Structure formats: C-alpha cells, structure tokens
Amino acid sequence: MLKSSSAGCYVALVRVLQRTIILTTTAFFAAAAFGNTLEDRLLREFHEAYPKEAPEGGSERAFELRAAPATVGQFDGRRLDVWAYEGRVPGPVLRVRLGESVRVTLTNDLPQPTTIHWHGVRVPNAMDGVPGVTQPAIPPGGSFVYRFTPKDAGTFWFHPHHRGSEQVERGLYGVLVVEDREPLPWSRDVVWILDDWLLTPEGQIDPRFNTRHDLAHDGRWGNVMTVNGSSDETLEVRAGERIRLRLVNTANGRVFAPDFSELDAKVIAVDGMYAARPLPAAGWELAPGNRLDLDVTIQPGERGRTIRIVDRFTRRPFPLATVRVLDETVPTPGFASPANPRVPRWADGLRASVAAEYRLNARAGGEHGIEWMINERAWPGHDQSPVGPFDRLEPGRWQRVRFVNESFRLHPMHVHGQFFKVIARNGAPVDEPFFRDTVLLKRQETVDVGLVPLDWGTWMLHCHIQEHAEAGMMTLIEVAPANPTER
C-alpha cells in the first residue's frame, strides 16, 4: 500500500516535471521569437538613445593639422619647448555642426611616428587612429587624411595614439566640438582644457617619460596645473550671461575635481553625450579622457565679483581658473537645458550575466620594469602586433561588461567607438543618468556597465592613464556578429 502510493506519487511527479520541461521549452522558443529575454527588454529600453548611423548629405569641413616641435610662451613668460598641433598648446578647437562631415589632413613633422585618435567620436573603424590596428603609424614627414561624419553632438577631443605618454604630455591634443544641429542661444560657448605639466627646475618639460615612479603610481602627475595652457586662466563675464562651459581633462594621469559651488551651474553632458536631465554640479571627478559640459548662469548678485574655481581632488586644493564678473548686466537667454530623456535606466541590468570581464593588475617585468595588464596580458610595445584572442561583442544587442580593479591604483577605463552606462559599483546598483566613454575605477573597485555596441570594428579598450597604457594596459574588443553572414 505504502509502496504503490509512493509509486503513484513518483509517476505524478514525473508528469509534472515533463510538463514543466515542455512548458519551459515552449516559453524559451516563444521568448526567442518575440524577443522577451532580459537582454531583449534592456535593448528595447535603449531604443535609439543615440543613433546608429551618421546623418547624411551635409557639407564637408576641411582642417589642416601639422604636428611639429614648437616653442610657446607660457607660465609667466618663460619659453616652453613643446610638441604642438599648429604651433599651439592646447591645439586648435575644431568646431563643426552635427550633420557636417570632417576632413582633417594631419602632417607629421615630429621626430617620431604618430596618429590621431578622435576620443569619444563614433568614427568608422579605419579612422580611429590606432597604430598597428586601424592604420600604420604615420612616419615623420608623412601625412594621413581622417574623414568621418560625427553621429553625436557634443564635446570631444583628439590626441596621438602612439607613444601617448610622451606625445600627449609634450602638448599634442585639441578639442573637437560638434555643435547641435540648431545650437541653443547661449551667451557664450567656452572650452576649458584641464592639464598638468611636470616641469624641471629650468621650466622645461621633464624628458623622463614612463618612469618607474609614474608606473608604480597613477601615471605622471605634474607640478603646474593649467586651463587652456595658462596657469591663471580668467574668464570675464557679465551678470546674466548663460554660458556653456565645456571641460576636458587631457592630463596623462591627474584626476580633477573642480568645485563649482560658487556658481549657478548644472551638468548637462558627460563624455560628450547629453544626460537624461540637468544634474547638480557638485562632486564630479574628471579622470583623464573625461568631459563635462556645464550650463552656467551668472546671477545678477554676482556683479563685480571674482570667483575662483578650485580643484579638490587631492588633499591640497589648488586654484584652477578665475571667473571675473564685470559690473554689467545683460538679459539671460531663456531656454530649457538640453537633455536626452531617452537615456535608459537599465535597472535590471545586474540580473543579466556578464558578457566580458576585464581584470586589471600589474606585475614586475617588461621594458619599463612594471607591466600593467588586462586579464594577465600586457599589450606589447610600439609597432608590435597584439596577441589575441580578444573578446567579441555582438552588435545591436545589450551586453554587460565588468571591470575588476585588482590593484591599488586608479584606472580610468576607456572604450573606443562605444558608449556605456555604469550599472553597479562593487556589486551595488548605481543609476547614472548618462552614458560615458571613460569610467574611473578606484582602488580594488569593481564596475559593471551595460552597453549596446552600434559601431562595428576592432576597437581599443584601455586605461587612459597614459603611462599605464604605455606599460601594457590595453586590449581590443571585436564588435562583429557571431555569424558572419549577417554582415
């Protein structure tokens, strides 16, 4: 009796299990057909938060950039030997409008090969400026034409991707501003390029690059901080003016934390892309590579005042720049701060599995004595082919990528050709209402991001501390479908 009843139970249980299996299988296929996996739902949330294709049919803007040694007068009139685009540090601000295409002829008159990388711009892969990957390095005396049509309006910058720790430090960088199709009536549009310089007692750029000290720390931190190449940059404004202030950190290693609490300021864009809504300007850090766009209104009560913008990243605050408010008032242009309400929330992103993981650490060895690694591999030196295999990400699908900083140093991790959104820090959900192209990892921190790769190709993923990258902290990701017939 007992036996047969337990046998009956067993049969019933098997039936239930069978039905469950059938139901689950059916549900699985239905889900695939109707696209209802977690990733499908996350992808739907992304829905054209930024476009896949560049606008067509606009006119072309042509620029010439000559990279060459130059001497500039800076830092209290002392002469400074630099490497510069068009003889200036910072290099020129290239301004185009969304819809226009860009053509830049780079002439290399440096004593080294070089390239230009368009940081944050979703360019065709062949225009990405990575030597040995997307193009051969341009030899001294050579030239190269970069052509692309920006897909996004915003604040971007450009710099060499060959011996960056030396070439960027010597002064090779500039800004690319892609204005909105219909620019808002700002009183003024201002670029502030934040950088630091390590100068010798004679006031020249210290020629020792990639030192053991730089590598064992957060790269090369300078002893002179500059905004637009000046150690006392002053912005003269009138009360009532509404200013779009574009900040770019071009330093090799230094993180800036500018304090805007004296101003009526809101953050409207991060790494070039508009945020979901205007955000309070307090507590932001700009790691190397990062940009922040601010919407600043000079209040009538600030007439005649002198406001100092101070950096607070390190324990010793230092003055970055000055805003001098003239004794004049103008009407404030009225318009809603620009925003991108389509930035997804991706609150469920943490439930998805990790598609690719990048562990960051160092070991003794290599050309510089210390190698910085991603997943136990250091990128080989200049002009050497990287060793695969590399991770592949599926274009047009939502994926979760994880960075794990196993070291005690800072690593601003940058991905070329893609934007991503931070969804967790150390496993705890984070809602940053904006995309990034560079995220700073603090000591032993884990950061999870979600992304939908739209731009196909072989893209770099690396630390933007130039010395860490130089000592190996670079890898590639392949954005291509698993099934090549989809091409």
Place of tokens 């994880």: 402
Is residue 38 within 8 A of residue 355, CB to CB? The reply is no
Q: Closest CB to ligand C2O among 99 and 289?
A: 289
Q: Which two tokens stand for residue 9?
A: 């139970």
Asked if 374 interacts with Cu ion (CB under 5 A), we say no
Asked if 162 interacts with ligand C2O (CB under 6 A), we say no
Chain residues 400-429 in contact with ligand C2O, contact rule CB under 6 A? 414, 416
Considering only 122, 411, 414, 421, the residue that binds Cu ion (CB under 5 A) is: 411
79-to-76, 174, 196, 205, 353 alpha-carbon distances in Å:
9, 21, 17, 11, 55
Asked if 119 interacts with ligand C2O (CB under 6 A), we say yes
Chain residues 263-302 in contact with ligand C2O, contact rule CB under 6 A? 289
Asked if 287 interacts with Cu ion (CB under 5 A), we say no
Alpha-carbon distance 216 to 29, whole Å?
Answer: 52
Q: Give the strand pairing for 188-197 and 242-249.
A: parallel
**Partner from ligand C2O, Cu ion, none contacting 423, C-beta within 5 to 8 A by type:** none
Q: Choose the binding region for ligand C2O from 36-44, 237-245, 421-429, 458-466 (rule: CB under 6 A).
A: 458-466
Q: Closest CB to ligand C2O among 119 and 170?
A: 119
Alpha-carbon distance 306 to 453, whole Å?
Answer: 45
Contact string 296-315 vs ligand C2O (x = CB under 6 A):
--------------------
Place of tokens 């990790």: 354
CB of 288 to ligand C2O, least distance (A): 8
Q: Which two tokens stand for residue 322?
A: 């000055």
CB of 252 to ligand C2O, least distance (A): 11
Reference 253, options 186, 314, 315; nearest CA is 314
CB of 193 to ligand C2O, least distance (A): 13
Considering only 151, 161, 220, 421, the residue that binds ligand C2O (CB under 6 A) is: 161
Write the CB contacts of 150 (distance below 8 Å, at least 6 apart in sequence): 54, 96, 98, 100, 102, 121, 122, 156, 176, 178
Considering only 460, 465, 477, 479, the residue that binds ligand C2O (CB under 6 A) is: 460
CA Rg value for the chain:
25
CB of 158 to ligand C2O, least distance (A): 8
Query: What's phi and psi for 421, nearest 5 deg?
Result: -130, 130
238-to-126, 207, 324, 334, 343 alpha-carbon distances in Å:
45, 42, 8, 16, 34
Q: Closest CB to ligand C2O among 161 and 220?
A: 161
Is residue 74 within 8 A of residue 197, CB to CB? The reply is no
Considering only 449, 451, 465, 477, the residue that binds Cu ion (CB under 5 A) is: 465
Q: Choose the binding region for Cu ion from 11-19, 66-74, 444-452, 464-472 (rule: CB under 5 A).
A: 464-472
Query: What's phi and psi for 244, nearest 5 deg?
Result: -90, 110
CB of 461 to ligand C2O, least distance (A): 9
Using CB atoms within 10 A of its CB, is residue 401 exposed (0-12), middle (13-18) or buried (19+)? Answer: buried
Considering only 225, 263, 415, 463, the residue that binds Cu ion (CB under 5 A) is: 463
β-bridge partners, 143 = 107
Is residue 125 within 8 A of residue 455, CB to CB? The reply is yes
Write the CB contacts of 245 (distance below 8 Å, at least 6 apart in sequence): 190, 192, 265, 293, 294, 296
Asked if 368 interacts with Cu ion (CB under 5 A), we say no
Alpha-carbon distance 358 to 218, whole Å?
Answer: 19
Considering only 462, 468, 472, 479, the residue that binds ligand C2O (CB under 6 A) is: 462
Q: Choose the binding region for ligand C2O from 59-67, 191-199, 426-434, 457-465 (rule: CB under 6 A).
A: 457-465
Q: Which amino acid is at 269?
A: A
Total interface residues for ligand C2O by CB under 6 A = 10
CB of 218 to Cu ion, least distance (A): 7
Is residue 191 within 8 A of residue 154, CB to CB? The reply is no
Q: Is 457 left (phi over 0), alpha (psi -120 to 50) or beta?
A: left
**Partner from Cu ion, ligand C2O, none contacting 117, C-beta within 5 to 8 A by type:** ligand C2O
Asked if 117 interacts with ligand C2O (CB under 6 A), we say yes
Asked if 468 interacts with Cu ion (CB under 5 A), we say yes
**Partner from ligand C2O, Cu ion, none contacting 440, C-beta within 5 to 8 A by type:** none
**Partner from ligand C2O, Cu ion, none contacting 266, C-beta within 5 to 8 A by type:** none
Interface positions with ligand C2O (CB under 6 A): 117, 119, 159, 161, 289, 414, 416, 460, 462, 464
Q: Which residues bind Cu ion (CB under 5 A)?
A: 411, 463, 465, 468
